[in-house]
Structure 1
Amino acid sequence: MKSSLVRRGGLLAAVVASVVLAGAAPASAAPGDGSAYGVKVNVTLLGQPAVNVGPLAAANTAGPTTSTVASANASGILTAGVITAEAKRDDDSGAVTAKATTADVGLPLLKAALGTVGVKTVEAVCTATQEGVKGSSTLADAKFGSIGAVDANPAPNTQIKVAIGLVNVATVVLNEQIQNKDGSLTVNALHVKLLGGVVGAIGSGDVVVSSATCGPAAPPMPLASGAGLWVGLGLLGAIALPVGTRILRNRRTA
């Protein structure tokens, strides 16, 4: 009789344990997300229709994780060669990496103000680990017309004022880094902001070249090993042992 009660207690404990483990797994498996793209244009030049392009070569940790576009051309605004982007997550650690690279970038949009603007490679990188979220940008062989060469690794949120005569018509932000409310970080390697609404403006809108967003990291806690295993076993011991003991006590009393 006693052995029968023990078996029943063990069966109940196994059922309880399976519910605990099943409920715990999804709650501890929500790693961070990441995304990236190469080019996005949303511009309206004076006297011309709006131009909307992209985001081109968009990638996301939810898929597709990699993307490539052979070239891009928004007439009078931007030209670009090969564009690649990737956004990947390590399911074991929850770490996220997002990167976008755009080759042979030209900005005829700024020619009237600066002359010829060109960058051999524009790259944005964002990484999220348990130590935090960080990003960086690289502009290889960047020449901004009358301004001259630009640092290949500009400081975050470096700004270049673009003027025609005495009127500022645009702002170029290099290595733009935006802290989002959800804890993620967006890195735009090159962001042109047209200042519409001012006398002498050439138009309004934005051009973004190479953008990456990631974080915060949120690692899963596998129940099959490591800390997750001990949590699961602890819950099993805390619930199953009292259940089995209570059944035996009630039987003895009866």
Structure 2
Amino acid sequence: MKRHLVRRGGMLAVVVASIALAGAAPASAAPGDGSAYGVNVNVTLLGQPAVHVGPLAAANTNGPTENTAVSANVTGVLTTGVITTSAVRDDNSGAVTSKASVADVGLPLLKPAVGNVGAKAVEAVCTATQEGVKGSTTLVGANLGSLGQVDANPAPNTELQVQVGPLHVATLILNEQIKNGDGSLTVNALHLKLLGGQALGSLGSGDVILSSATCGPAAPPMPLASGAGMWIGFGVLAAIAVPVGLRFTRRRSAA
């Protein structure tokens, strides 16, 4: 009877340790992930072949965590200077920070409709912590032609209509923030959506995205299966299993 109780105690120790270790594993692969890229172009201009460029300078928390590109030049659509991106996870806190920045942006595609459009820098930032996920956009030296002035930090999902006469041909979205189904957030600093159509003045169809950062949700702050958490798990196991083992040894000796 006594040995039976000891064996039950040993099984309890294994179960407790298994529960502790299982609790450390994230529910899915999504928590703790992050990514970023500088430029992605998928457009079909009126009367021309489709153009696909990017994602350029892609970074990911699983590597490469940083990336750069010297420039991007899509004739008649886009010009840029240096592109820099990063996506970093802090294994201690579980926090994720993704960033993308594009310098010396020009959008010649919009010149016939609204004049010169560009910026000295366009940056998107996404951060995921235990408190939640948030994002922001910064525009440095932005010039939007006849679309008017815009704040350096535009409000999420600021939309500007591009008109050619009475025709709405495109939408320019600043600080686009998309809440994804897995709990992550995507921030596109600048998203130009061409609305298509064959009417006179149409620019074409497709999308131009500059400075995109995705992150979240945050990972568990200290996974039990590794690092300091692993030693805590072993400590729990030892605290239960060692006294049980000593009792078993002593009773066997007494027998």
> CA–CA distance in 2 between the matches of 1:165 and 1:23?
64
Match for residue 65 of structure 1? 65
3-state SS of paired residue (2:171): strand
Mapped pair 1:27 → 2:25? yes
Mapped pair 1:178 → 2:193? no
Match for residue 237 of structure 1? 239
The answer to whether the 8 A contact 1:189-1:210 is kept is yes
Deviations 1:70-125 (A, max 9, x none): 11100000000011001111111111111001001000111111011111100000
3-state SS of paired residue (2:142): strand
> CA–CA distance in 2 between the matches of 1:51 and 1:240?
67
Paired residue total: 241
3-state SS of paired residue (1:101): strand
Identity of aligned residues (%): 64
> CA–CA distance in 2 between the matches of 1:230 and 1:71?
49
Aligned pairs (5 A) from 1:211-226: 211-221=212-222, 225=228
User: Which amino acid in structure 2 is aligned with residue 115 of structure 1?
Assistant: G
Aligned pairs (5 A) from 1:125-144: 125-144=125-144
Deviations 1:23-78 (A, max 9, x none): 55973697601111111000000110001011111111111111111111000000
Match for residue 105 of structure 2? 105
Match for residue 210 of structure 1? 211
Distance 1:25 1:64, change over 3 A: farther
3-state SS of paired residue (2:197): coil
Moved more, 122-131 or 142-151: 142-151
Match for residue 50 of structure 1? 50
The answer to whether the 8 A contact 1:222-1:229 is kept is no
Report the RMSD for the aligned CA atoms in angstroms: 3.1
Moved more, 126-135 or 233-242: 233-242
3-state SS of paired residue (2:213): strand
3-state SS of paired residue (1:237): helix
3-state SS of paired residue (1:55): strand
Distance 1:240 1:27, change over 3 A: farther
> CA–CA distance in 1 between the matches of 2:26 and 2:189?
34
TM-score, scaled to structure 1: 0.83
Mapped pair 1:77 → 2:77? yes
Distance 1:26 1:171, change over 3 A: same
Deviations 1:178-211 (A, max 9, x none): 0011111000000000001363432110000000
User: Which amino acid in structure 2 is aligned with residue 106 of structure 1?
Assistant: G
Using the TM superposition, give the Cα deviation of residue 221 of structure 1 relative to its aligned residue in structure 2, in angstroms: 2.4
Distance 1:111 1:233, change over 3 A: same
The answer to whether the 8 A contact 2:87-2:99 is kept is yes
Unaligned runs of 5+ in 1: none
Match for residue 165 of structure 2? 165
Match for residue 95 of structure 2? 95
TM-score, scaled to structure 2: 0.83
